[in-house]
Amino acid sequence: MIQPADSWDFPPDAAEIVDWRALLADQGLDVALMAAFIGLALVSFHRKSVPLRYLTLAISVLYLGFAKSQLLSIVNVFSVFTWNLPVFRYSLAWYLFAGFGVVSTVLWGRFYCGRVCAYGALTQLLDRVVPERLRVDVPRSLERPASLVKYGILAATLAYFLATKDQTIYRYVEPFWMFGGQGTPVMWTALALLLVATVFVRNLYCRFLCPLGATLGVLSTMTVFRIKRWPECSTCRICEKKCEWGAIRGPRILATECIRCDDCERLYADTTKCPHWLILYRRKPSRQGTVLEAITAPLSAREQRTP
Residues that bind ligand SF4 (CB under 6 A): 113, 117, 119-120, 205-206, 210, 212-213, 227, 230, 232-233, 236, 238-239, 242-243, 245, 247-248, 253, 258-265, 267-268, 274-276
CB of 276 to ligand SF4, least distance (A): 5
CA-to-CA separations, 226 to 24, 70, 74, 253, 256, in angstroms, rounded:
36, 28, 26, 9, 12
Comparison of 27 and 116: residue with beta carbon closer to ligand SF4 = 116
CB of 193 to ligand SF4, least distance (A): 16
**What does DSSP assign to residue 133?**
G
Three-class secondary structure of residue 117 per DSSP: coil
Comparison of 27 and 254: residue with beta carbon closer to ligand SF4 = 254
CA torsion 178→180→186→191, rounded to 10°?
A: 0
Comparison of 94 and 119: residue with beta carbon closer to ligand SF4 = 119
CB of 174 to ligand SF4, least distance (A): 7
Q: Contact 183/191 with Cβ under 8 angstroms?
A: yes
CA-to-CA separations, 159 to 75, 167, 220, 251, in angstroms, rounded:
13, 11, 22, 35
CB of 15 to ligand SF4, least distance (A): 37
Comparison of 38 and 258: residue with beta carbon closer to ligand SF4 = 258
Beta bridge partners of 253: 248
CA angle 159, 118, 174 (to 5 degrees): 25
Comparison of 258 and 280: residue with beta carbon closer to ligand SF4 = 258
Comparison of 34 and 206: residue with beta carbon closer to ligand SF4 = 206
CB of 33 to ligand SF4, least distance (A): 20
CA-to-CA separations, 180 to 58, 65, 70, 103, in angstroms, rounded:
17, 8, 9, 26
Residue sitting closest to ligand SF4 (CB):
120
Neighbours of 267 (CB within 10 A): 18
CB of 105 to ligand SF4, least distance (A): 10
